[in-house]
């Protein structure tokens, strides 16, 4: 098993671009009056504490989300993304960085379904803990390549 821990890279520039694009696409798809299923094949833990040793080891988030977190910009797409990040943080400081599955869960409706797959055992347990109260979500501890 490849032992990948997304916490090392959470919030870096590539992650920010991926999440910004995800929110844009989800908002576009939600314009249709249809329910859908969101699948995250490499879900990770769902959200990451900035103070966690994994995020602090390489501090990649400093070149990503930290650079734009407090930005004031009139761009509606950037505002939509940053508002979701701020929603999980109770004040103006970045303490928690949400992953793709967390952002999707917050963005999608009550009748949409979400399916998260994570192979790493520790990440899987954190993922389950982070979403245990959301009945829309199915979480599996599997190799996503085999599962899909």
Give the tens place of pLDDT for each residue, 76-130. 999 999 999 999 997 678 999 999 999 999 999 999 999 999 999 999 999 999 9
Please identify which residue in the block is written with the tokens 């299923």. 37
Stretch 54-75: mean pLDDT, rounded? 93
Name the band, by pLDDT with cuts 50, 70 and 90, for residue 146. very high
Domains and CATH numbers, the chain: 6-147 (3.40.50.150)
Kindly state the average pLDDT of the residues 4-28.
Answer: 93
The burial of 28, by beta-carbon neighbours within 10 Å (0-12 exposed, 13-18 middle, 19 or more buried), is given as exposed
Read off the pTM: 0.91
pLDDT category of residue 148 using cuts at 50, 70 and 90: confident
In tens, the pLDDT along 129-140 reads 999 999 999 999
Greater confidence, 148 or 94?
Answer: 94
Q: What is the pLDDT of residue 81?
A: 94
- Please say whether the beta carbons of 40 and 116 come within 8 A: yes
2 pLDDT band, cuts 50/70/90, is low
144 has a pLDDT exceeding 60:
yes
């Amino acid at each position: 098993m490849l032992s990948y821990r997304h916490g090392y890279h959470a919030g870096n520039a590539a992650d920010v671009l991926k999440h910004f694009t995800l929110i844009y696409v989800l908002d576009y798809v939600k314009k249709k009056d249809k329910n859908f299923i969101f699948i995250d094949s490499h879900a990770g833990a769902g959200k990451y504490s900035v103070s966690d040793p994994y995020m602090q080891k390489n501090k990649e988030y400093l070149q990503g989300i930290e650079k734009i977190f407090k930005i004031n910009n009139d761009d509606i797409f950037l505002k939509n993304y940053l508002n979701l990040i701020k929603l999980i943080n109770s004040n103006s400081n970045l303490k928690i960085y949400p992953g793709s599955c967390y952002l999707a869960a917050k963005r999608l409706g009550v009748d949409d379904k979400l399916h998260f797959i994570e192979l790493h055992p520790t990440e899987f347990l954190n993922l389950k803990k982070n979403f245990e109260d959301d009945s829309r979500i199915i979480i599996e501890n599997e190799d996503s390549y085999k599962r899909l």
